[in-house]
Structure 1
Amino acid sequence: MQIHISNDGPPIYQQIVDQVRFRIVSGVLHCGDELPTIRGLAEHLRVNPNTIARAYRELEHEGLVEKRRTTGTFVAESVQQRTAAQRRQMMGPHLDKLLILSRQLGFDTEELIALLRKHDQRFPPLDGPS
């Protein structure tokens, strides 16, 4: 699993949480998939293992992953039922920013929708989760 850490962004544990959450909610990681070990990911990212442990605890608290004693950390089985709502929730802040920017630039909602449709034609359809 490839995780990118930035020193000038949110705290490292939060970057890890956000990236793993995105992979789970978007369907890149599936129920039962094993996450890297805390020590292995810490070595790979060159961060303190406590940082990874904190990120995994937060993901576990959200119900996205589950620790299995002596075997590792896995994507929770219950995730599949919640992902559609979580994907919509993840889009909320981005939609807010888009709406604010479009209003600041003088576009109304219909113009914004037309622009979205025009730009959407440039991208192939995805076969991902709906």
Structure 2
Amino acid sequence: MAAGALVSGDPLPSVRQLAANLKVNPNTVAQAYRELEREGLVYVQRGQGTFVGSARQIDDDRTALAHELAQRSLVEAARLGLDPEQFIQAIRTVAASKAPLK
């Protein structure tokens, strides 16, 4: 995908087919496909297979994940007694620091 060998909408091999080709356990391939889907790089159409995601779809998925992360983080910040502005300022401070993000 990143190398350009696959383009948006291209089908990926079935879990069984790829596992056989790579001589690995099908569960390993299934787990990898789930992770790619979670990251928005592929999408699954039930009964049809797994396909390379579009750049637009990937962006939409990332935006949705970012909103979910923000919501969970705000809930946790509230549990710590921080209001949203205090939490946002903390994020800005960390983002502006020279410390590497891990």
The alignment's TM-score, normalised by the length of structure 1, stands at 0.45
Matches within 5 A, 1:1-130: 32=6, 38-39=18-19, 40=22, 43=24, 47=25, 49=26, 52=29, 56=33, 59-61=43-45, 65-66=50-51, 75-76=52-53, 79-122=54-97
Q: Please report how far the alpha carbon of residue 84 of structure 1 lies from its aligned counterpart in structure 2 after TM superposition.
A: 1.8
For 2:45 and 2:76, the matched residues in 1 are separated by 34
Count of residue pairs brought into register by the alignment: 81
For 1:38 and 1:123, the matched residues in 2 are separated by 42
For 2:72 and 2:31, the matched residues in 1 are separated by 29
Q: Please report how far the alpha carbon of residue 91 of structure 1 lies from its aligned counterpart in structure 2 after TM superposition.
A: 1.7
Contact 1:31 1:80 in 2 (8 A): no
For 1:90 and 1:29, the matched residues in 2 are separated by 24
Structure 1: state its 5+ residue gaps: 1-23, 67-74, 125-130
Letter matched to residue 118 of structure 1: T
Rg (Cα) greater in structure: 2
CA distances 1:73-129 after superposition (whole Å, capped 9, x unpaired):
xx24xx1122221111112332122111110111111111110100001358xxxxx
Identity of counterpart residues, as a percentage? 23
Structure 2: state its 5+ residue gaps: 38-42
The alignment's TM-score, normalised by the length of structure 2, stands at 0.54
Cα separation, partners in 2 of 1:98 and 1:50, compared to 1, 3 Å: closer
